Amino acid sequence: MVRDPGTNALHPFDFSHIQDQVPEIKSFGSTIDAIAFSPLIDSSDVTPEFWVKLATLIEKHYLDYDGFIVLHGTDTMAYTASALSFMLENLQKPVILTGSQLPIGTLRTDGKENLITAIEIAAAHRDGQPLVPEVALYFENRLYRGNRTTKTSSEHFNAFSSPNYPALADIGINIKYNHQAIRYPTTLRSLHIHQRLETDIAVLKLFPGISENMVKAVTRDDKARGIILETYGSGNATTEDWFIREIQDAVKHGKVVVNITQCLAGKVDMTAYENGRRLLDAGVMGGYDLTTEAGLTKLMFLLGLGLDSQRIHKNMEFSLRGEISS
């Protein structure tokens, strides 16, 4: 982003001239090309259609480059990183998302360091193989698995965290890769991208005093094919008869309901408390330690595949791209 001199508001910057803003990247011994989307958008305007364009662009140039950097606004970066991880099947090259908290043109911007380090990571190889062959997010001295991240600060440079999974690399004077945490391919397969994402999904965050009418507005929406239920603690919810009945009816009518904890860290275990067990008995799927961003985009992906509820249930509880720890 850059700041408008008239309004002082931030707006997207055309990164086709990135080398003018960050001349340091000319020192890399690699060929670096920049492709700018048209029109440029604020990350708050990101849609699944944008993710499809991004995945298609990576597929188009997949054989031309050793790695890819996605310069992205921070507000929805974790959503994009999660979505790409599912859409880019058989990925065997780095796709690193990064950005900045301060505009690229300001003196104290974190954008330059983030970009330079992301390029170095994307270009890093050992024995002819990429060191980080997955979708990752780099910010403020940490490289995270993309589908494990969530934005936790709107003010600090360390804007992202990965509460339930260790960093893929720690960056100081040296870059220390955590090879045990990185997903390395076991077979050589061609990249395959998925372009169908189901967007008729609702996120219902529970809170004390939530009304029956508000819950019904979600559970009885005929267009909603899936519901992310953000619950308390290890996956607990009210056991009011009307609430359990609404959840049961939603499942009976073919809606996929996934239980994800509101807690920043930890996992859902619906067998730990009676309140959670009531949800399990109602047909709710456990989201384990999925972030909301990963749970939402994974459900979009699975519904987009046209799978039945039984296969979706199986895949939601299985780690497809390292998004859950179970």
pLDDT for 146 = 98
Give pLDDT tens digits for 3-16. Answer: 566 676 655 665 55
**Collapsed DSSP state (helix, strand, coil) of residue 13:** coil
How far apart (Å, rounded) are the C-alpha atoms in residues 254 and 237? 21
pLDDT in tens, 265-275: 999 999 999 99
Predicted confidence at residue 135, as pLDDT, reads 98
Contact, 163 vs 288, CB < 8 A? no
Q: Is the pLDDT of residue 180 over 60?
A: yes
Strand pairing report for 169-171 and 175-177: antiparallel
Go through the domains of the chain in sequence order and give each one's CATH number.
2-193 (3.40.50.1170), 201-316 (3.40.50.40)
Asked if residue 105 has pLDDT above 90, the reply is: no
Give the lowest-confidence range in 83-87, 123-127, 205-209, 216-220: 123-127
For residues 138 and 114, give the distance between their C-alpha atoms in angstroms, rounded to a whole number: 7
Q: What is the reported pTM?
A: 0.92
pLDDT for residue 5: 61
Q: Are 292 and 323 in contact (CB under 8 A)?
A: no
Query: Closest Cα to residue 176, out of 141, 137, 208, 209?
Result: 141
Q: How far apart are CA 283 and CA 190, in angstroms?
A: 37
| Closest residue by Cα to residue 168 from 96, 108, 87 | 96
Sequence-ordered list of residues with C-beta below 8 angstroms from that of 209, at least 6 positions apart, any chain = none
Query: What is the chain's mean pLDDT, rounded?
Result: 91
Q: Which helix (H) or strand (E) holds 279?
A: helix 274-281
By CB neighbour count within 10 A (0-12 exposed, 13-18 middle, 19+ buried), where does 32 fall? middle
